[in-house]
Chains A and B, each alone.
Chain A
Amino acid sequence: MFYREAGQYKKTYSADMAVFPLLQDRVGIAVILLVAAVIIPFFGSNFFISTVMIPFLVFALAAMGLNIVTGYTGLISLGTGAFMGVGAYACYKLTTYFPGVPIIIWIIASGFFSAAVGAIFGLPSLRIKGFYLAVATLAAQFFLEWCFVRIPWLFNYNASGAIEVPTRWIFGIPITGPNATPMTRYYVILGIVVLMTWVASNILHGRIGRSFMAVRDMDIAAELMGIRLLRTKLLAFALSSFYCGVAGATMMFLWYGGGEASDAFNINQSFIILFMVIIGGLGSLIGCFFGAALLHVIPIILKFGLPAIGVPLAGATAEHLNHLLVGGLIIFFLIVEPHGLARLWQITKQKLRTWPFPY
């Protein structure tokens, strides 16, 4: 009834190809941005912002990175956690050497380092395919993880062996470190995520994105059509790692705030992000947000929600139950909607268009 395109004529090709062709879509995205930028910071508690919203945005960014290489280009990568780590450590080194430069610039710039590393580890993708490639990317995961622990230069020879996030100011407001308020960190991260989503959307809707999808659908055919596999695959890996690297830097600097995070970039992180991508929908940007929201929120609900409604759980039992439930939910969602929440969203939109007379 409300979601209908009647009367909205598309007069040009670009209008027809727009990302949000319908007025309702544009209004919807504006409302979402408004809620994210105004309502959540002013009405959400600090707990909500720092436990739910900030991790959600970080994971969405990381999932976007993985989706570029797995969902759009069809190359399964299990090295996401490590590429995020490269971003975090690069950002740390950069801000150590150049403390005067605004940290946001370094967070973005750290993406280039992980893009370079990603491109190197993407090289085997030219010869290896499918699960063989997935296992090969695990080499990146384990090698980089080893580097993070064994090369003390990376963490400035700290006694803790982890990144210790320093306080950095922009215009006199602390952005990172222990003094930064959740609201500032939230705004910084929101800005980064919105900007990078916009960039990703443009890249993926353009020539580059189409060549990615051609490679995904069948790389031999794509090659015959004149797409250079070497360049395309490496670009996909680099772009994906760029996003993962920025996500890793934001994760370390704006979410964790240092310390206690030495195993933030391990293999489990890679798997969880892969699962966010799959549950959200392979090859869909909005799916990244759905997947990140779902997979991040479920453990929080289990952790804080169950005691709140009076289910008494000891620490260890809760942990076991959490494993059981998360595993069960993974299988449940795969069975119910193997194409991810993004597909569900499309079906809903289609239903809304014809509602209430589906004929």
Chain B
Amino acid sequence: MLYNIFIDPFMQMGAAPDLLVQTIWEGLVAGVLYALIALGFVLIFKASGVFNFAQGIMVVFAGLTLVGLHQKGVPAWLALFLTIGVMGILAMAVERVVLRPLVNQPDIILFMATFGLTFIIIGLGEFIFGGEPKQMIADELGLPQGTMRFDILGGKVIIQKIDVAAAVIASLMIAALALFFQYTRIGRALRAVADSHKAALSVGISLNQIWVIVWFAAGIVALITGIMWGARSDVSFGLQIIALKALPVLILGGFTSVPGAIVGGLIIGVGEKLAEFYWGPLVGGGIENWVAYVIALAFLMVRPQGLFGDKIIERV
């Protein structure tokens, strides 16, 4: 038993390094996508302190809108712009209808409000575009298809081109966000709000405006995640469970840290795939759903605010 848990999996890894590389690669790709969702969470949490449960469904909604518009005969590039516009409208609507009346309420109330928002977006999306799964328009958007094969370590590693594209696009987007935060006027305002709402207000930063911007940014992140994830499988409301996958990433990296979301995403992605592949068969498989939480919990026991989260200081 102990041999099966502690030694055998590593023997397997050593015996077939190409499989190990393949598993790690798949973990990294999944991790990038988790990281993207977590990034949307972090953006909103930093700027408004709202734990946005609806981020997962925003991913689906953005993907659905894009595909749905294309199916109605809109060219792909126009559909992309229109979807960005829809996410903007959504951000404004959320700010106006949900956030503004609930300002200064306890965190849990805002959290539940985003839970209600999840329901509304599900209903709205199904109402407009129908509930059946859809094919992502990867070709029309110019995303590469097919696979690449590498012969390394005495075996073959198969890599989907779309995964490489996802990793590249994700890196570009994160870099762009970092630049945006660091060097633009709005980015500075966002950082100010993240540091202290009151101080930001007192120097004349409009919180309402910032919230719209940050929800819009999260919407764009959601759109990109939706495209990438949709191209790997298909666009359906089943995808909303990936929001639950992103939660351990969040607690691992810390709610307030963008680098944390990325590192956390990669750790969770790789850890989860390795555990499923090497240890899963011991207990009958299907452990992907909870092993991420266990990894995150293990980290939390050491650092209760996540790897990169702000230190929690409590005063009596």
Contact = CB atoms under 8 A, between A and B. Distances in A.
Contact of A278 (B97, B108, B127, B294): B108
Contact of A275 (B112, B283, B301, B306): B112
A331 B113 contact: yes
A213 to B, nearest CB: 16
Contacts, number: 136
Interface in A312-359: 316-317, 319-331, 334-335, 338
Contacts of A146: 286-287, 289-290
Contacts of B306: 132
B112 A278 contact: yes
Contact of A324 (B119, B248, B283, B286): B119
A292 B293 CA distance: 29
A76 B251 CA distance: 15
Interface residues of B, number: 50
B119 A143 contact: no
A120 interface: no
Interface string B292-316: 0110110011001110000010101
A150 B119 CA distance: 30
B51 A131 contact: yes
Interface of B is mostly: helix
A323 B112 contact: no
Interface in B180-209: none
B8 interface: no
Contact of B112 (A132, A138, A145, A274): A274
A149 B290 CA distance: 13
A271 interface: yes
Contacts of B154: none
A330 B287 CA distance: 33
Interface string B76-120: 000000000000000000000110011001111101110111111
A266 to B, nearest CB: 11
Nearest to A74: B108
Contact of A132 (B102, B251, B284): B251
Interface string A182-216: 00000000000000000000000000000000000
B312 A129 contact: yes
A178 interface: no
A329 B120 CA distance: 10
A341 B105 CA distance: 16
Given A334-B109, A335-B102, A150 B290 contact: no
A36 interface: no
B38 to A, nearest CB: 11
B247 A135 contact: yes
Contacts of B109: 278, 334, 338
Contact of A135 (B116, B248, B301, B314): B248
Contact of A128 (B284, B294, B304): B304
A150 to B, nearest CB: 5
Contact of A320 (B102, B126, B283, B294): B126
B131 interface: yes
Contact of A338 (B102, B297, B305): B102
B29 interface: no
A73 to B, nearest CB: 13
Given A132-B305, A275-B112, A323 B107 contact: no
B316 A220 contact: yes
B122 A323 contact: yes
Contact of A334 (B102, B294, B301, B316): B102
Interface string B242-259: 001001101100010000
Interface string B41-59: 0000000000100000000
A221 B102 contact: no
A142 interface: yes
A124 interface: yes
A316 B131 contact: yes
B123 interface: yes
Nearest to A325: B123
A329 B117 CA distance: 10
Interface string A37-70: 0000000000000000000000000000000001
B124 interface: yes
Contacts of A135: 247-248, 250-251, 293, 296
A139 interface: yes
B300 A127 contact: yes
A218 interface: yes
B46 to A, nearest CB: 13
B283 A150 contact: yes
Contacts of B107: 130-131
Contacts of A1: none
B244 A138 contact: yes
A331 B98 contact: yes
Given A124-B301, A331-B98, A322 B123 contact: yes
Interface in B207-252: 244, 247-248, 250-251
Nearest to B285: A150
B51 A139 contact: no
B181 to A, nearest CB: 23
A142 B122 contact: no
13 contacts: A129-B304, A132-B255, A142-B290, A146-B286, A278-B112, A320-B123, A320-B127, A322-B123, A323-B123, A327-B121, A328-B120, A330-B116, A335-B101
Interface of A: 70, 76, 124, 127-132, 135-136, 138-139, 142-143, 145-146, 149-150, 218, 220-221, 224, 267, 271, 274-275, 278, 282, 316-317, 319-331, 334-335, 338
Given A124-B297, A127-B301, A338-B102, 8 more contacts: A128-B300, A132-B305, A136-B296, A275-B115, A278-B112, A328-B116, A328-B120, A331-B97
